[in-house]
A and B are shown apart, each in its own frame.
Chain A
Amino acid sequence: MVAARAPEGGGALQLRLYVAGQAPNSLRAIANVKAICDEHFAAAHDLEIVDLLEHPGRGLADGIIVTPTLLKLLPLPIRRVIGSLSDTEQVRLALTGT
């Protein structure tokens, strides 16, 4: 299952969230990342959600060890946040900080 939400005019912030099906942590992470994006980066963001149960090969390519894992691909540098993303302040800092 790939749930992608890419609003027009995005590109400034590119995110990829790896999840594992309907696992509680994964469901929480999806909800949390959407909320954070809507709140802080509503104007320009590109979020891709990858389910490893369906696409395990992609997890290998990105070196995903635990689920959920959020990758901030752009702007550089690449950042990695793991967990259910419940600590929204930590996530926001990771996404905005350089």
Chain B
Amino acid sequence: MKAELQSAVTKMLTGIQGFDEITDGGLPRGRTTLVMGGPGCGKTIFALQTLVNGARRAKEASIFVAFEESTRQIVANAATFGWDLPALEKRKLFFLDARLSPEVVQAGEFDLIGMLKVLQAKVEEIQATRIVFDGIDVLLALLDNPVSERREVYRIRDWLLETGLTGLITQKVGGTDADQRYGFLQFMVDCAIVLRHQVVDGSAFRSLRVVKYRGSGFSGDEFPITLTTEGLQLTHRGPAELTYEVTDERISTGLPRLDNMLRGGYHRGSNVLISGAPGTAKSTLAGLFAAAACERGERTLYVSFDEGAAQIVRNLQSVGIRLGPHQKSGLLKIFSTRTRGPNIEDQFGELRTQIRAHNPRCLVIDPLSALSAKLAHLASADAAQQFLDFLKVQGITVVNTSLMDGLNTDEATATGISTIADTWIHVSYIVHDGERNRALTIVKSRGTGHSNQVRELTLSNEGVTLTDVFIAQGKVLMGVARWEWEQEQQAATKRIQVATELKRLQLHLAQAEAAARLQVVQTEMEARSAEMEVLADATGSASMLVTTDREVLRKMRHADKEVRVAKRGQSKGVVPGNGDSRVL
């Protein structure tokens, strides 16, 4: 026992999100911790959760001594947390109903020796390592004597040290005289925690503060706490320096054209804000993102503060986005909720619980402004920022929608979301020529050379499309105006096409004519050359004929002289004749 007192503090994890971090490992093991707070601060929950987590995670058995509430009441109250107390009660968790009913007659002084003896037997039986004395103030009030009170409390403390149990004592505070009277409790214990429940600007806030921790460093700040379906959580402010991994990986927005505008899509792990007036298809863009994530096989959580899951699926189906199959396969979880109460911390706490349960890579919050409506004061904006930081650290890509009419509304600045959003897309209505058309602009996108052009967003049962808008005569053309413009453009193009075709045909004709003329000329030439040949032939045969004819004629004439002449010109002595025959 002495040796244990001298040794360094060993710690016992409470399993309470955030608390183990701020105390650097949880509660002091083998020592006593006092949990103080007014009614409804979560003292009992804090204590019970420590036991439940011990039983579930560390397989440590525990005893819960209830001075104020019946154990049945405690089990019933804890049913909302999904801890399955009845199952734990059988093996790892023993409840002792230590209430003294009002019918009990008090006749003289009493002590807790008997109870501690009973508990000792139980501790040995179930090998318990943790014990809670819940509502010690009730017991102290019964003792009604400062000397006895002190004596019995020290008796418990000594008993805890002897048994080596890790003890948690909860004490209701509030009345000032009682606080002073029981002030010795704080000096007695090794660790003291104060829980608070206060109302700031009409919003309820729960907080936790470690006021004392012997032999250990701790953060003495007041931390907001939230009650979620998993129990109590601390909103840990996290490291002051923002360090998380960043990637260059791009993931699809679900709309190819938008991907192009963002040079490939959203950055993995970034947070995206889609703002716009009601009905500007913010949810549709969020739905596209969710569907694309599921198509890639990534776990996705869709948080809606507006509509039920079935309605979301049906509405998105109408524009060709199919979420139903992903929901069935378990890849997609749609969590529909109403904003509960005024405590923003609770809201973000609940979201954190949902995220831990589903473990998504992609997240949609539709709309974030449902939460930001509660962001009346700085603490809430802080909560929103912390939540987004938490997502960053987890590497979760989140698409938030936000109801916003203009770009610079107070809402955007109040939440600070617009400043911490990595990518901000704004969808607005442009009214022109009696039409309302949706115009999409990328207001900012960190680390991305994005398109700064306005695009028209159109929805149909075939799907969602982004179209170029036209600027003509200084006006942005959308809807019918754009259609007319396009028609006009098409007609103009058509006219040019027709004209070109006409010209082409004309030229073709001219070419054909030229070719035809060429053919004629060629034919003519051929005819001419043939003629020439014929002519040449005819000339040759004609001259031969002439000679032959002359021969024949000479023979016929027997003309000497003429023959001589002819002989002289033709061939000597060819024609036998008389001796003086000579050619002429």
Contact = CB atoms under 8 A, between A and B. Distances in A.
Contacts of B96: 60
A86 B105 CA distance: 12
A52 B118 contact: yes
B112 interface: yes
B100 interface: yes
A59 B117 contact: yes
A35 to B, nearest CB: 13
A66 B107 contact: no
A65 to B, nearest CB: 5
B175 interface: no
Interface residues of A, number: 37
A87 B107 CA distance: 5
B148 to A, nearest CB: 10
B112 A67 contact: yes
A63 B97 contact: yes
A43 B263 CA distance: 101
Nearest to A61: B118
B121 A67 contact: no
Interface centre among B103, B106, B107, B110 (most CB of A within 10 A): B107
Residue picked from B99, B121, B122, most chain A C-beta under 10 Å: B121
Residue with the greatest number of chain B CB neighbours at <10 A, chosen from A21, A66, A84: A66
A59 B103 CA distance: 19
B109 interface: yes
Contacts, number: 105
A15 interface: no
B111 interface: yes
A81 B111 contact: no
Is chain B's binding surface mostly helix, strand, loop or mixed?
mixed
Nearest to A92: B107
A16 interface: no
A88 B108 CA distance: 9
Contacts of A21: 113
B376 interface: no
Contact of B108 (A18, A59, A83): A83
Interface in B92-138: 96-101, 103-115, 117-118, 120-122
Given A80-B105, A87-B108, A64 B115 contact: yes
Interface in A41-98: 52-53, 56-57, 59-60, 63-69, 79-88, 90-91, 93-94
Given A63-B97, A66-B100, A82-B100, A18 B114 contact: yes
Given A65-B98, A66-B110, A79 B115 contact: no
A79 B117 CA distance: 23
A67 B107 contact: no
Nearest to B94: A60
Interface string A28-50: 11001000000000000000000
A28 B120 CA distance: 24
A64 B97 CA distance: 9
Contacts of B115: 59, 64-67
Contacts of A85: 107-108
Given A65-B100, A90-B105, A94-B105, A82 B110 contact: yes
A17 to B, nearest CB: 11
Contacts of B104: 80-82
B117 A25 contact: no
A67 B101 CA distance: 15
A82 B122 CA distance: 22
Contacts of A25: 108-111
A68 B113 CA distance: 9
Majority secondary structure of chain A interface residues (helix, strand, loop or mixed): mixed
Given A53-B117, A56-B121, A66-B115, A84 B110 contact: yes
B121 A60 contact: yes
A29 B113 CA distance: 14
A29 B108 contact: yes
A19 B104 CA distance: 17
B111 A67 contact: yes
Contacts of B103: 79-80
A66 B112 CA distance: 5
Nearest to A19: B114
Nearest to A32: B108
A97 to B, nearest CB: 9
Nearest to B101: A80
Contact of B118 (A19, A59, A68, A90): A59
Contacts of A63: 97
A82 B114 contact: no
Contacts of A32: 108
B106 A64 contact: no
Nearest to A67: B114
Given A56-B117, A60-B121, A83 B97 contact: no
A86 B107 contact: yes
Given A56-B118, A82-B100, A67 B108 contact: no
Contacts of A65: 98-100, 112, 114-115
A86 B109 contact: yes
A59 B107 contact: no
A23 interface: yes
B180 to A, nearest CB: 25
A89 to B, nearest CB: 9
A41 to B, nearest CB: 16
Contacts of B121: 56-57, 60
A28 B110 contact: no
Contact of A23 (B97, B107, B113): B113
A85 B101 CA distance: 18
A66 B110 CA distance: 6
Interface string A2-26: 0000000000000000111101011
Given A64-B114, A79-B105, 7 more contacts: A52-B118, A56-B120, A67-B115, A82-B104, A82-B105, A83-B106, A86-B107
User: 8 closest pairs, A vs B, by CB?
Assistant: A67-B114, A83-B108, A84-B108, A20-B113, A56-B121, A86-B108, A87-B107, A90-B107
Interface of A: 18-21, 23, 25-26, 28-29, 32, 52-53, 56-57, 59-60, 63-69, 79-88, 90-91, 93-94
11 contacts: A53-B117, A56-B120, A56-B121, A63-B97, A65-B98, A65-B100, A67-B111, A69-B110, A80-B105, A81-B105, A82-B104
